[in-house]
Amino acid sequence: MGHRPLPRTFYERNTIQVAKDLLGKILIRRTAEGQMTGRIVETEAYRGSDDPASHAYRGATQRSRLMFGRGGIAYVYYVYGFHHCLNATTESPGTAGAVLIRAIEPLGGIKNMRLNRPLPRHSRAEDLTNGPGKLAKAMNVTLKLNGTDLTTIGALYIAGRESATPPPISTSTRVGVKKGSRRPWRFFTRDNEFVS
């Protein structure tokens, strides 16, 4: 499996399609302590003015302006005073879109992840990264990474074969969004223990 970053053309497409195609790709986080990697197993698509649940629904603000820029950029935000969430921006400049990475299956650097996110005593291995706040904590993703280019090798990027056969995909409505939109824009790999 290649560890070459996915090119910008991968991201600057329809957001729904990118959300599906990101399943099975490898998220790579490099820190002073070492490298951590994980397979993406769950995503959600967020769009622009037609999507009430999206930060970009009311147009570009200081926070959401990254969603209107080029694709392939890390969009990180802070919610509930506790959790960071990691997104990859999509669509061409001028069109809003982002894909929330909700869960990964840890592959490498698991020791570091456990240090970043100590687990309660009797928890299962899957609890390490099976949720957006959890994986951000485990991989030490903070607001400092907001705006990171995911198409070049750096502190944070996504790799994988662009044309690799996608795993079996299941679909459902998005989780935790209140504003209307029961749109089926959550995607996850079937039969995987690490989905939230």
Of 4, 7, 17, 58, which one interacts with DNA (CB under 7 A)?
58
Least distance to DNA from the beta carbon of 142, Å? Answer: 10
Of 53, 73, 139, 195, which one interacts with DNA (CB under 7 A)?
53
Least distance to DNA from the beta carbon of 84, Å? Answer: 9
Residue closer to DNA (CB basis): 163 or 183: 183
DSSP output for the chain: ---PBPPHHHHSS-HHHHHHHTTT-EEEEEETTEEEEEEEEEEEEE-STT-TTSTTTT---TTTHHHHS-SSBEEEEEETTTEEEEEEE-SSTTS--EEEEEEEEEEE-HHHHHHHSPPPTT--GGGGTSSHHHHHHHTT--GGGTT-BTTSSSSEEEES-TTPPPPPEEEEPPSS--SS-----EEEETT-TT--
Of 15, 37, 87, 192, which one interacts with DNA (CB under 7 A)?
87
Least distance to DNA from the beta carbon of 75, Å? Answer: 7
Of 27, 67, 104, 159, which one interacts with DNA (CB under 7 A)?
67
- Regarding 61 and contact with DNA (CB under 7 A), the answer is yes
In the complex, which residues of this chain contact DNA (CB under 7 A)?
A: 44, 46, 53-56, 58, 61-64, 67, 75, 77-83, 85, 87, 98, 100, 117, 120, 127, 131-134, 143, 174-179, 196
